[in-house]
Chains A and B, each alone.
Chain A
Amino acid sequence: DVKVTQSSRYLVKRTGEKVFLECVQDMDHENMFWYRQDPGLGLRLIYFSYDVKMKEKGDIPEGYSVSREKKERFSLILESASTNQTSMYLCASSLVGLNTEAFFGQGTRLTVV
């Protein structure tokens, strides 16, 4: 079974803090993704990576950066957390190729106060 593990289930951070969300997958997947889920807005893509050290902006990259130094690990960084970044953050991974599905981690509920 594919396993995508996010480092925290729940986080509470203060405004202005630098926040790191970590994600590890164990199936040697090339692609990794960070989404956020908000009520009424669905899952919105923040960043994705199709290889080590490669990254591409998704639909809402502002206020975020990412790091992929190893194939199995994809980190999302909130440079200076703000209250509008309170959300559920979801990491996913997938194989490269036709007709493959993404596998998700359990999510991190981040609250910025």
Chain B
Amino acid sequence: DQQVKQNSPSLSVQEGRISILNCDYTNSMFDYFLWYKKYPAEGPTFLISISSIKDKNEDGRFTVFLNKSAKHLSLHIVPSQPGDSAVYFCAASASRPGTYKYIFGTGTRLKVLA
């Protein structure tokens, strides 16, 4: 049972426009959410995160929005750049002791067209 879902396997966006990547989760115990970026043949790198006590977190061109009632989060990249082309994974964790694992989605491949 997939607890973290990214329903769009791929997304193409024109350079300079907004990229919106979506993620849904099913486990209400999740209270910390992360986005990672992955290039081929490399490990994922941490991008941005959000705690469940917030509904928005911004870091430069990247903003993550959390809608707890809908169990949905999204990553906005504005403006998109060709170097943003990568696979993006969302992940979730629960802060209860003993459950420090991160559950990842299936990823969305973003292609930013020059």
What B residues does A106 contact at CB under 8 A? 42-43
**Count of A-B contacts judged by CB separation below 8 Å:** 64
Q: Determine the interface band of chain A, counting residues with CB < 8 A from chain B.
A: 20 to 34
In the complex the two chains form, is B43's CB within 8 Å of A40's CB? no
Q: Interface of chain A, helix or strand or loop or mixed? A: strand
Q: Interface of chain B, helix or strand or loop or mixed? A: loop
Give Cα A9 to B40, complex, Å.
12
A99-B101 CB under 8 A given contacts A42-B107, A90-B44: no
What B residues does A104 contact at CB under 8 A? 36, 43-45
A90-B95 CB under 8 A given contacts A33-B102, A40-B9, A43-B104: no
A: residues with CB less than 8 A from B are 4, 9, 31, 33, 35, 40-45, 48, 50, 56, 58, 90, 92, 94, 96, 98-99, 101-107, 109
Q: List 8 A-B contacts (CB under 8 A).
A: A9-B41, A43-B91, A92-B43, A94-B102, A101-B34, A102-B91, A102-B102, A104-B43
